[in-house]
Amino acid sequence: MNPSCNLFVIGPTGAGKTSVGRRLAAHYGLPFVDLDQEIERHCGVDVATVFEIEGEAGFRLRESALLDECSRRPGVLLATGAGAVLAPSNRRRLAERGYVLWLDVTIEQQLERLARDTRRPLLAGDDRRTRLEAMAVVRGPLYREIADLAVPGAHEAVTAGSERCIDLIDRHWQRQHDTLTAAP
């Protein structure tokens, strides 16, 4: 949705949604919400434990419920989890309730950025490349479907990447300040 008072950040694992999202929130004076952190806060355990106990299906139900709640807040920057776009209802909510920024990265960039990361349950195991490629085939078209703006990844520091995003967002986002009421 453009114009909007909300900015939503989507993209694959390792795209920088949380790191860039925090900087964008500070720049635009918006409260920052990381959807995975909200899930952890509500459950009292980390995402990996939710996956272990409830499986991916249980995690996705929790994710959808919190995405609905968080995306209703006016004037928020929400960084979603990489798989939040899998549910059609989540894609609809994101597209209707905010300006959607897609941080797009290559498989190579993901592998480089996630080389030491052991916390992501869907990347557990040996062949990360194959898993990331399979996720990209399914999720890439879904990101594209709802994105108002796509920003390709680059080999740069988070600060430089955030500044590049701000420059592009400023040219495209018709920001409405918190004069809107929460979406139905």
pTM over 0.85? The answer is yes
CB atoms within 10 A of CB 26: 12
Q: Answer left, alpha or beta for residue 148, where phi above 0 means left and psi between -120 and 50 means alpha.
A: alpha
Q: Which residue has the tokens 């078209």?
A: 141
pLDDT of residue 184: 45
Q: If 0-12 CB within 10 Å is exposed, 13-18 middle and 19+ buried, where does residue 40 land?
A: middle
Q: 136 is written with which tokens? A: 């990209």
Residue ranges and CATH numbers for the domains of the chain are: 7-172 (3.40.50.300)
pLDDT of residue 129: 87
User: What distance in Å separates the CA atoms of residue 180 and residue 182, rounded to the nearest whole number?
Assistant: 7
Tens-binned pLDDT, residue by residue, of the chain (184 aa): 467 899 999 999 888 899 999 999 999 999 999 999 999 999 999 988 998 899 989 999 999 999 999 999 999 999 999 999 999 999 999 999 999 999 999 988 888 877 676 666 666 667 888 888 999 999 999 999 999 999 988 777 788 889 999 999 999 998 887 654 444 4
* DSSP 3-state of 145: helix
User: What distance in Å separates the CA atoms of residue 72 and residue 93, rounded to the nearest whole number?
Assistant: 9
User: What distance in Å separates the CA atoms of residue 126 and residue 129, rounded to the nearest whole number?
Assistant: 9
CB atoms within 10 A of CB 113: 16
- The CA–CA distances, whole Å, from 142 to 24, 33, 63, 76 equal 23, 21, 17, 22
Structural Rg of the chain based on CA atoms: 16
77-79 and 99-104 beta bridge pairing: unpaired
For 100-143, what is each residue's pLDDT tens digit?
999 999 988 888 877 676 666 666 667 888 888 999 999 999 99
| Cβ 46 vs Cβ 40: under 8 Å | yes
Residue 121's contacts (CB-CB under 8 Å, 6 or more residues apart) are 47, 48, 51, 52, 56
